[in-house]
Amino acid sequence: MVIYTNNNNTLSEVHERSFKFEKEIQKIFEGNLNSIMELEVVKSEFSIKHKRIDTLAFDREAKAFVIIEYKRDRSHSVVDQGISYLNLMLEHKADFIVEYNEAMENHLKRNEVDWSQSKVCFVSTSFTDNQKLATNFKDLAIELWEIKQFENGLIVIDSIKKSQSAPSIKQISGTNETLDKVTKEIKVYTEEDLLERGSDESRQLYEQFKNAILNLDADIEIQPKKEYAAFKKGKNITDITIMRKGIKMWINLKKGMLDDPKKLMRDMSNKGHWGNGDYELTIETNENVEYIMYLIKQAL
């Protein structure tokens, strides 16, 4: 990828600058983790059982811990290291909770953590084709993030997406005892998992709204969660869960920020609920698709 600046229709190339140390990358991520990954930093340089984790983070949406490792050396296997860290977390859950409570001055309990959504993220200036291929399993809780810096303080960060046809890690998990143990407890949720909950009618309704939402902006992407599909453009726009009768939707806006003349949305600001935002709607027909799209566009 070549980046240019435009000065009166004259393009000048912006040259890439290398990072001298992993610590530079770590400082950028830890200082902006909520903006980049929608996570909160729990501990930098977290040591446990003779191993050091670069950044221990917590995902409030998933209620799960996230381990982040920064790399300049592209020669090591990210899969082996990632599985090792996930196994370490599962074997020492109490230590992670204690660290969270001490660092965040909170009282997080073990049953308040969804260990099944734990994951490891590797951050590097680049990954080899072998590293990308080795992590290309739809249900492997390992993510790759690339970061590059350029002149004029420009930073580009990109999450490497897994292919649409990525296979399941369970096809090979039986060949490795640690991998088998991790994949039995940690689950990466897919749209297929959510669709299984519905009926033919509710699945069809979901697909109609899904296509309408994706057509709002080319940069909207779907991130399946345990209880719902999150539609994001940098941040959550709307979340949808599939039920036997219809679908339920949340719009990620605070109370008072949504213009809803028909008063379709339910105020959830003082009630517990899945999804993000204070507005909820149960949908059983497609009669208000255009109006609901008008509501969703307000969260873009």
Tens-place pLDDT, residues 2-34: 899 999 999 999 999 999 889 999 999 999 999
Q: What distances in angstroms separate CA 171 from CA 79, 137, 138, 175, one per listed residue?
A: 15, 10, 11, 9
Quick one: CATH architecture of 3-185? 3-Layer(aba) Sandwich (3.40)
Q: Which of 105, 167, 112 is nearest to 135 (CA)?
A: 167
| Predicted pLDDT of residue 31 | 97
pLDDT tens sequence across 99-125: 999 999 888 988 899 999 999 999 999
pLDDT tens sequence across 197-256: 999 999 999 999 999 999 999 999 999 999 999 999 988 999 999 999 999 999 999 999
pLDDT tens sequence across 61-109: 899 999 999 987 666 789 999 999 999 999 999 999 999 999 998 889 8
Query: pTM (2 decimals)?
Result: 0.86
| Predicted pLDDT of residue 105 | 85
d(CA 59, CA 61): 5
Q: Which CATH code for domain 191-297?
A: 3.90.1150
Q: Which residues pair with 64 in a beta bridge?
A: 59
Long-range Cβ contacts of 125-133 (<8 Å, 24+ apart): 125/18, 125/19, 125/25, 125/72, 126/74, 127/74, 127/78, 127/160, 128/74, 131/74, 131/77, 131/78, 132/160
Q: Domain ranges for the chain, please list them.
A: 3-185, 191-297
Helix residue ranges per DSSP H, the chain = 22-31, 33-37, 78-91, 93-104, 129-134, 170-173, 177-185, 191-195, 200-214, 289-297
